[in-house]
Amino acid sequence: MPTSAPGSNATDPRGAVQAKRPAGHGFTPVRRSAEHGFTPVRRSAEHGFTLVELMVVVVVIALAAAVAVYAMPDPRGRVADEAARFGLRARAAHDAAIVGGRSVSLWITPGGYGFDQRVAGAWTPMADTPMRVTRWNDGTAARIDGATGGRLRVVFDPTGLADRAAQVVLTRGPARAVIDVAADGSVRVAS
């Protein structure tokens, strides 16, 4: 916008008359142009994103999704977690034998494990939630040392001692966990 001398009226390119301004108003319009090192970059919403910008966004989202997939746990659980759960339940059977004053057995097969208690001279399944029959997770293979006929029974007497020592090895792919039940009734889990 052109500046005018004091006391004169100036018109802008559209023909509008500008008001008079005294010389000491302190306002001097600054023109920004390529001559003064300014290059205007105009971008409006109608121009949108470039293809490169969209591709970068898609790659970033894909990388984030890949990281999330690799960070997710195995839906079957880890073998170490399964072994720890089995070890805790075996220890609970040991404690139940002591507290209840009656023998409790832990039976183990390649397909799973469960707990029985001695009632009226016969083994009856325990119905308590932590002592229910449990199958090994899909893909888990169990090797039971000392099993006869594919089944091993360890009996905890009312003092907590086991009638035999036992070892169960759980494997799934390269993962491996070993559960040892000692004759004194202690249970140890090692990965």
Mean pLDDT of the chain, nearest integer: 78
Q: How large a percentage of the chain has pLDDT more than 90?
A: 8
Here the CATH number for the domain that contains residue 140 is: 3.55.40.10
- Does residue 59 sit within a domain? no
- Does residue 69 sit within a domain? no
- Does residue 182 sit within a domain? yes
Which pLDDT band holds residue 8 (cuts at 50, 70, 90)?
A: low
Q: Which pLDDT score, from 0 to 100, does residue 49 have?
A: 79
CB 117 within 8 A of CB 126: yes
Q: How large a percentage of the chain has pLDDT more than 70?
A: 70
Q: Which pLDDT score, from 0 to 100, does residue 129 have?
A: 72
- Does residue 13 sit within a domain? no
Between CA 10 and CA 1 the distance in angstroms is 10
CB 137 within 8 A of CB 171: no
Q: Which pLDDT score, from 0 to 100, does residue 156 have?
A: 92
Which pLDDT band holds residue 34 (cuts at 50, 70, 90)?
A: low
Sign of torsion, CA 139 145 151 155? negative
| Pick from 113-117, 128-132, 135-139: least confident | 128-132
Q: Which residue has the tokens 């390529």?
A: 34
Expressed as residue numbers, the domain containing 167 is: 79-190
Q: Which residue has the tokens 């052109």?
A: 2
- Does residue 84 sit within a domain? yes
51-59 mean pLDDT: 88
- Does residue 153 sit within a domain? yes
Q: Please check the confidence at residue 70 and state whether its pLDDT lies above 80.
A: no
- Burial class of 189 by CB neighbour count within 10 A (0 to 12, 13 to 18, 19+): buried
- Does residue 71 sit within a domain? no
24-53 mean pLDDT: 65
Each residue of 144-169: pLDDT tens digit?
A: 877 667 788 999 999 989 998 988 99
Q: How many domains does the chain have?
A: 1
- Does residue 30 sit within a domain? no
| Pick from 17-21, 114-118, 127-131: least confident | 17-21
102-122 mean pLDDT: 88
Q: Which pLDDT score, from 0 to 100, does residue 24 have?
A: 56
Q: Which pLDDT score, from 0 to 100, does residue 155 have?
A: 92
Helical (H) or strand (E) element with 104: strand 104-109
Question: 29 or 85: which carries more pLDDT confidence?
Answer: 85
